[in-house]
Amino acid sequence: MTNLVLENIFPKYFTPRNIEQSEIWNKNISFQKGDKFLIVAPSGSGKSTLATAMLGTHFQYEGNIKYDQQVVKKLHLEEIVKNRKDGVSLLFQDVRLIKDLTISENILLRVFNKDRKQFIPKMEEYAKKLGIENLLSKKAENCSYGERQRSAIVRSLINPTDFIIYDECFSHLDLNNKKIAFSLINEVSQESGSSVIFFELNEFPFEHDYQILHL
């Protein structure tokens, strides 16, 4: 997948705050593979609504979202799910780890249709960089929220899609851990050629070269 396009998107059932100032709602936006975007989206602006729509989990919006030339609303469920394997992925705000599985088991769910063994060294490398290597055998329910966020970031990177969307993925991390996680995401996405789209309440409190859009 080389393009993720928003064509005059607007929520059906509510009007986001500051809709007149939005640089995305009711606009034509094309995200190209390899692009890096930070979407600043304060509470009430429809951040999670848009992020999940881009993943194809709902169609509660006017306008169209396209994967390349394909209108997502017109795709069969099987095609949307197939796109999530390689085309577009989302790290949800609530991270969505399965509490009864270990951190490593949760991470390797991202490669359920491939030989998991080949991804273990990469998982261990990324976990070490984020300081959670000692948690891999620990159940998710016994980890703090910040530890689960870092685990979910590892999961998003071991088999990266063309477009990786993050919905407030740093919310429970201190500044140092935010910088480390951000650096790892940049490193891996650069290697894979992936586009990264962050949804955050505010701009990052550190230097970056991402293009900023206000929702």
147 is in which domain, residue-wise? 3-214
- Domain containing residue 124: CATH number: 3.40.50.300
CB 31 within 8 A of CB 163: yes
Q: Within a 13 Å sphere around the CA of 52, how many CA atoms are in the beta-carbon half?
A: 13
Reply yes or no on whether the pLDDT at 112 is more than 90.
Answer: no
Q: How many domains does the chain have?
A: 1
Beta bridge partners of 181: none
The helix (H) or strand (E) run that includes residue 8 is: strand 3-11
Do residues 45 and 201 touch, judged by C-beta distance below 8 A?
A: no
Q: What is the pLDDT of residue 115?
A: 83
pLDDT of 154 > 80? The answer is yes
CA distance 35 to 193: 9
Mean pLDDT of the chain: 95
- Has residue 114 got a pLDDT over 80? no
Residue 46: its pLDDT value, please? Answer: 93
Paired with 61 in beta bridges are: 11
**pLDDT 10s digits, 115-139:** 889 999 999 999 999 999 999 999 9
For residue 175, is it left (φ>0), alpha (ψ between -120 and 50) or beta? Answer: alpha
DSSP letter at 11 equals E
Span 181-186, average pLDDT = 98
pLDDT in the model for residue 18: 81
- Whole-angstrom CA distances from 93 to 9, 48, 56, 122, 166 are 21, 8, 16, 24, 8
- β-pair partners for 3: 32
Answer whether residue 74 shows pLDDT above 80.
yes
Judge whether residue 107 has pLDDT over 90. yes
**Residue 4 reports pLDDT greater than 80:** yes
- Please give the model's pTM, rounded to 2 decimal places: 0.95
Mean pLDDT of 86-109: 96
Task: Using CA atoms of 82, 148, 141, 114 in order, give the dihedral in degrees to the nearest 10.
Answer: 30
pLDDT per residue as tens digits for the range 48-67? 999 999 999 999 999 999 99
| Residues 52/34, Cβ–Cβ less than 8 Å | no
Question: 154 and 107 in contact (C-beta within 8 Å)?
Answer: yes
Is 58 within 8 Å of 65 (Cβ atoms)?
no
Is the separation of the CB atoms in 108 and 116 below 8 Å? Answer: yes
% of the chain surpassing 70 pLDDT: 100
For residue 162, the model assigns a pLDDT of 98
Give pLDDT, residue 116.
87
- Check whether 179 has a pLDDT greater than 80: yes
Residue pointed to by tokens 């390349």: 68
Q: How confident is the model at residue 94 (pLDDT cuts 50, 70, 90)?
A: very high
State the pLDDT at residue 204: 96
